[in-house]
Amino acid sequence: MTTTLVSPADTAAVHGRQVPTGLFIDGRWRRAETTFPVLDPATGAEIAAVSDGTVDDALTALDAAVAAQSAWRHVAPRDRADLFTRAHRLLMSRADAFADVMTAESGKPLAESRAEFALSAEFFLWYTEQIAHLHGTFAPASHGGYRVITTHQPVGPALLITPWNFPMLMIARKAGAALAAGCPVIVKSAKETPLTCALFVETLSEAGFPDGVVNLVHTSSSAAVSAALMADDRLRKISFTGSTGVGATLLEQAAPGIINASMELGGDGPFIVLDDADVELAAQQAIVCKFRNAGQACVAANRIIVHSAVAQRFTDRFVELTEALTVGNGFDSGVDVGPIISARQRDSVVELVATLHGAGADLLTGGQPLPGDGYFFSPTVFRVPGRPAELCSRELFAPVATIYEVGSTAEAVAFANDTGYGLAAYVFTKDLSRALTVGERLDFGMVGINRGIMADPAAAFGGVKASGLGREGGHDAIYDYLEPKYLAVTVDEEEGLS
């Protein structure tokens, strides 16, 4: 199968916004022989048909990235930062378009899409500001006679695999770091939400990023495309956000070629409410942490663990706030919770609810798919007795909250840590010393203290155990795309004084 160049780019009108629907390879939009549909999860209707890239297309994109590598890595830091600045300005000028397209293809409420865009732009700006501050070290050798110079160089062409749940944030966070470090990229979009990626890549192209530095491949054959790229020894970096199962497969594929890997994988976020917590604050933050993006977030509150002293008060208030949430089309005013991403995903939520019933959990509200077009499910709360094996250490990824009761802080910490995951955890208490003590004992890469959202460009976002490798954001992010390089420089110290 072959692709043909498209000029001007094929586009689709999505909520009044023109979005490219082709593949972007070596600075050109290309039309594949076949397409696949993008559906609006709020209606089930097709909103666009995008080019369905093949293995050959992906390898052509890698060809372009390899060809661009040498020139891109040697662009002066200030020149690269200036290019980022132009791109950031263009992104900001298109904020409304990005929000509209995100809501159309992902279903999330427009307010959430706007917030995601704002955070994404902040990440991109953060990387812009870091480009000129990538420093090495200089030191005398331990026994003299030469100098130890450590610098950094780009790891090389990078494959960035983005998920559907945060289509703008993930590409801005990954591509921003990779490009800032001097790595050309091949972006493989999620087939459910390819249009936001297309807008992002189009913006970088218009800002002046050189041909081959940014490449975009949409595909309905993700496994085959990824496997082909991972088997090519010219690929030197993989960054993936998604399920732990797929991440494990990619790590296996990375092993033969020793490909540098960053993985942001599944979560089982414990949301701990201690006996001295501000119950109202905890309930409000739990709503945000659980039901944002219809619960489809790896950092969502997965197990809400509440001390028995405040369990009833918290539960009553949490259920009250849950029942006040408005479910609907993300473009409608006043909507708090949008649809599930797909019919298949909604079916999995139905199965989850059946599992909860089977485990003896007490349904407090919700529990049903909603009638009509689209893939809507009512915000749901269960009280779960005991520690059912079929529920603990399982990522829910749904608008379904599960509340567990504990009798002590020690029990809460032990239960929270009893999982193979280690991405995000949350602790609510009025005692700062207690918060720090508990936070330090939680085996998670991130801990929110009295807050349910903590993504920030200055913070190192990532997890431990089965939740991943590496960090996105903060000072560490760009270094995930750089390799240290050591230069041993002989110095004739006597001659230097003659």
Q: What phi and psi, each to the nearest 5 degrees, are found at residue 319?
A: -65, -40
Nearest to 57 by CA among 138, 2, 129: 2
Q: Which tokens belong to 141?
A: 């050798």
Choosing from 183, 197, 298, 392, the catalytic residue is 298
Q: Is 111 exposed, middle or buried (0-12, 13-18, 19+ CB in 10 A)?
A: middle
The residue behind tokens 């397209």 is: 101
Determine whether 264 is an active site residue.
Answer: yes
| Cα–Cα distance, 175 to 164 (Å, whole number) | 16
Determine whether 183 is an active site residue.
Answer: no
Q: Are 155 and 260 in contact (CB under 8 A)?
A: yes
Nearest to 85 by CA among 47, 132, 117, 143: 132
N-term to C-term CA, the chain: 69
SS (H, E, C) 271-340: EEECCCCCHHHHHHHHHHHHHHHHHCCCCCEEEEEEECCCHHHHHHHHHHHHHCCCECCCCCCCCCECCC
Choosing from 116, 202, 264, 405, the catalytic residue is 264
Cis, peptide link before residue 8, omega less than 30° from 0:
yes
Give, to the nearest 10 degrees, the angle between helix 194-207 and helix 95-106: 160
| Cα–Cα distance, 227 to 217 (Å, whole number) | 14
Q: Please, where are the H alpha helices in 142-298?
A: 167-181, 194-207, 222-230, 244-254, 279-291
Residues annotated as part of the active site: 264, 298
